[in-house]
Amino acid sequence: MPETHDLTPGSQGSQLPVISLFSGAGGLDLAVERVADEPLDIPRSATLGPFRVAVATDYSSQALETLALNLPGTAILPSDIRDTPSSELLRMGSLQEGDAALVIGGPPCTPFSKSGFWLAEKRESRDPNASLLEEYVRVVAQTRPEAFVLENVQALTYRTHQVAFSRLLAALKELGYNPQWKTLLAADFGVPQLRKRVFIVGRRDGTAFEFPEATHAGPSETTRVWDQSKLPHVTAAQAFQGLIGVPEDGELVEGKYGDLAAEIPGGQNYLWHTDRYGGRDEFKWRSRYWTFLLRLSPEKPSSTLQAQPGPYVGPFHWENGMDEAGRQRARRLRVPEMLRLMTFPDDFQIVGSRADVQRQIGNAVPMELGKAVLRALSLQLGHVEPRTEAEHEALDRRQRRSILV
């Protein structure tokens, strides 16, 4: 019978080892180690949970430096997974085949991301990086964890990538893991961001994983009617509560579109400056990407944070700043604000320049979304105890009160 862990603060127990692939800055890793934390707990102090990330690997040594700062007990291996034997991962984690409770990770989403969709090789799933999905399967096959969690962009499930996606599911099924998949909206799990990600989860015993029910609901690009009994989506303004504004170098949007960006209201984008809205008639209708000159609405969750945005790609803050010439200028999101939109801890440390920080955050898994999936898996594997009805009610009341603050 699997060992169970109480999720109440201060609980103790031997922690189960996890192998992390394509770890990046450690969003999913953080979710693994904080799965015992209450949702959206601010300050987000860690509670001892059932898992520990024994070893993490990624091609980016800089991202692993970030991970090491925040998860100092994890062995890190900067390497290309295609050149990394599973035996080396097991050795560094002091593990044998079958020891790991989980293998987790999100193979780089470049082959399947909308941001690169215009390239023919990406549209046709011919990008060589698509083979990284096969590397993930290889590690699962050779380490035999109790379960795995694979995360990727929603576009992986599109018809244009059907061959690669079907091959991935078939390979995992052949291993006996009975993979289940679902596209989840981060905002439906308390993340103040309208970010969609697909999760594939499988168990070594072949039992079908059941995805968690959404805890929040609200409007989105594809939703106009929603469950009013659930908690409302967390807005950007609510996420930023309590932050002390400290200007960052380069945060103001200058250059060719500086004046235009500053005039766009919160929640609008370049379309404000077409003949259909109240701004200047500068652009043709639907002639740019949606994120071009996009401003956050304080009353809604953020759109997806971009990993490598151009100089005029949002979302930008709804408030303006003042440049040295005394002109109003839209401003970029500050690092503490981006951390809040990803539901990362306020004290999360990130290595590198401002562009490095944005890339690492934009490529990460929002912590609360990862926690929702991993908590459901932990419950179904018997590694944690479910909350009592009274605990559920108390948590619901606390969350509803926080929304009204």
Task: Report the largest interatomic distance among the alpha carbons of the chain, rounded to a whole angstrom.
Answer: 69
Q: CA 63 to CA 352: how far, in whole Å?
A: 9
- Are the CB atoms for 16 and 383 separated by under 8 Å? yes
- Give the residue carrying structure tokens 């168990």: 203
Q: CA 30 to CA 135: how far, in whole Å?
A: 22
- Are the CB atoms for 75 and 56 separated by under 8 Å? yes
DSSP 365: P
Which residues neighbour 124 within 8 Å (Cβ) at sequence distance 6 or greater?
Answer: 160
DSSP 283: S
CA atoms within 13 A of residue 394's CA, in its CB half-sphere:
6
Residue of 36, 77, 109, 305 with catalytic role: 109
* β-sheet bridge partners, residue 56: 20, 76
Q: Exposed, middle or buried: residue 237 (CB in 10 Å: 0-12, 13-18, 19+)?
A: middle
For this structure, is 33 an active site residue? no
- Are the CB atoms for 230 and 216 separated by under 8 Å? yes
Which residues neighbour 311 within 8 Å (Cβ) at sequence distance 6 or greater?
Answer: 253, 255
Q: List the catalytic residues.
A: 109
